[in-house]
Structure formats: structure tokens, C-alpha cells
Structure 1
Amino acid sequence: MARPHEMVVTGSSESGAEEWSCHSCGRRVLLRWPPHHERVVLDPGDEGVVHVGGRVGGWLNARELRWLSDNGIAWA
């Protein structure tokens, strides 16, 4: 099994969505959190690898964690 790739916040869009990037494979997504949640894949990178992400000191509520899981993002 391949090691997970780590996604990190690299910026934000004018709409307020966060840009998350994977330095290992180039995957880039825009994430907007609930209640107006949205995920836009800018560059798919390696779709065969699990991508994980997290923030230092960042806590997510159950709804945000469920949304991440529903959109194929394992949150650590």
C-alpha cells in the first residue's frame, strides 16, 4: 500500500475557498467549508494515493469531518 500524501493549505481564492496542495504529486483542490461547501479539483495529481491533511491547532466539527470523508479526503 502506498504511503499517504500530505495536503497543505497554500492559499485562498477570492471566494474564500482554501487552496490545498500536495507537494508529492501536484494535486491541488479548492475547498470551501460548510454551510456553502464545495470542492473543486484544480489538478488531480495521483488519484491512486490517499491524501491527508490537517492544520496545526485547527479543529473541525463533525459536519466538516463528514464532508471531508464524503469527498474522499482522509483528515488527520
Structure 2
Amino acid sequence: MSDVRHVLVLPDRDAAEEAAEALGERFRLSEEPQLVRDALAGEDDAEDAQWLLVLRDEEKRLDVRELEEFVGEWDGWREEP
């Protein structure tokens, strides 16, 4: 089985935490998404960071368009890992 991942980028920690909780409910994930802080290059302020939700999808059951629509609800986007 291949290691398929989806990376959702969110503007702040609150949005990322809310989205992580909602992801599990909406998509019935078998495991919690990994929450990662991604400091923007060249930024010293801790507030200037994006938050990433990393989802494993080895069974390839998550639809890319649905994920993009979902993360858009929090002003975020999906990136290719």
C-alpha cells in the first residue's frame, strides 16, 4: 500500500484545531490528522505562521475536491505534499 498524504494549509491555530475536529466528523477518519506549525520564511513573529493538517489516506478514499471545499470553509487550501 502506498503512503498517500493530503496537506491542508490553514491561516491560524484556531482554524486548524476547528478544522481537525470537523475533519474527523465529516470524513470519518481512522486516525487523527497531524497538526503542524509552519513558520513562514523570513518571519520572526510567532504569529506569522501557517498551520498544516496532514492526513494519511493510504486507501485513497478521500476526494481531493471535497477536501479543497472543506478547507476553504476556514480560508485555507490543499497543497500537494
Q: Structure 1 length normalisation: TM-score?
A: 0.29
Q: Which has the higher contact order (CA 8 A, sep 6+)?
A: 2
Q: TM-score, normalised by structure 2?
A: 0.28
More strand by share: 1
